[in-house]
């Protein structure tokens, strides 16, 4: 009998001590669930308000820089690359070509159409000198990309402008992935 009484007393102590804690844990769990629901709703609201903008921003980031491979034409051996970068709503065009003659200015342009025989000049670029050129065009890169097909063309010299020594098609990053 004493053993039974002892079991009942100890069991009662355990029951009473664990019950409030268990109830508190249930209440804490319910509060956490409510907090999770609130966070989920806040996340959904953020997606509705800014999710599309974030996606568009990501796509725009992809188009912040476009690299054009410039291939040699007419056995010139002049090849390299041009990088078109969006800088504060303008387009910076940086060109580096290997094999260009020293000390000779070589006119360059962004032309309509594509290589090897591009069309009319759309945007003049700073002449290539010793294989290097940098130009800032007062037009956003997105506008240039909206005008594709376009090509960058390098001429042998001002006196021999009809001879093309290097050419590369401008292709957007989105087109490269497809």
Judge if pTM exceeds 0.85: no
Q: Are residues 142 and 91 in the same domain?
A: yes
Q: Are residues 41 and 112 in the same domain?
A: no
Closest residue by Cα to residue 125 from 145, 147, 105:
105
Do residues 100 and 164 both lie within one domain?
Answer: yes
The strands making up 121-128's β-sheet, listed across from edge to edge, are: 121-128, 106-112, 150-155, 164-170, 65-72, 79-87, 90-98, 132-137
Place 39 in a pLDDT band, splitting at 50, 70 and 90: low
Q: Tell me which residue has tokens 């041009």.
A: 82
Domains held by the chain: number = 2
Final residue of a domain: which of 22, 39, 62? Answer: 62
Same domain, 17 and 95: no
Domain match, 86 and 171 both? yes
pLDDT in tens, 134-157: 999 999 999 999 999 999 999 999
Provide the CA 135 distance to its chain's centre, in angstroms: 22
Same domain, 90 and 116: yes
Q: Are residues 100 and 24 in the same domain?
A: no
Among residues 62, 80, 115, which one ends one of the domains? 62
pLDDT digits (tens, 9 = 90+) for 67-104: 999 999 999 999 999 999 999 999 999 999 999 999 99
Range of the domain at 165: 65-177
Measured between alpha carbons, how far apart are the two ends of the chain, in Å?
85
């Amino acid at each position: 009998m004493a053993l039974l009484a002892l079991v009942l007393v100890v069991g009662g102590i355990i029951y009473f001590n664990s019950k409030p804690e268990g109830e508190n844990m249930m209440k804490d769990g319910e509060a956490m669930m409510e907090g999770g629901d609130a966070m989920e709703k806040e996340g959904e609201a953020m997606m509705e308000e800014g999710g599309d903008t974030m996606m568009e921003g990501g796509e725009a980031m992809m188009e912040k820089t476009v690299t054009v491979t410039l291939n040699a034409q007419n056995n010139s051996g002049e090849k390299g690359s041009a990088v078109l970068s969006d800088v504060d709503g303008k387009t910076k065009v940086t060109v580096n070509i290997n094999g260009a003659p020293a000390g000779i200015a070589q006119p360059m342009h962004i032309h309509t159409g594509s290589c090897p025989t591009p069309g009319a000049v759309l945007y003049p670029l700073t002449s290539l000198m010793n294989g290097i050129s940098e130009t800032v065009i007062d037009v956003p890169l997105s506008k240039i990309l909206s005008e594709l097909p376009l090509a960058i063309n390098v001429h042998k010299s001002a006196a021999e402008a009809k001879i093309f020594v290097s050419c590369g098609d401008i292709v957007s990053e989105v087109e490269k992935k497809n």
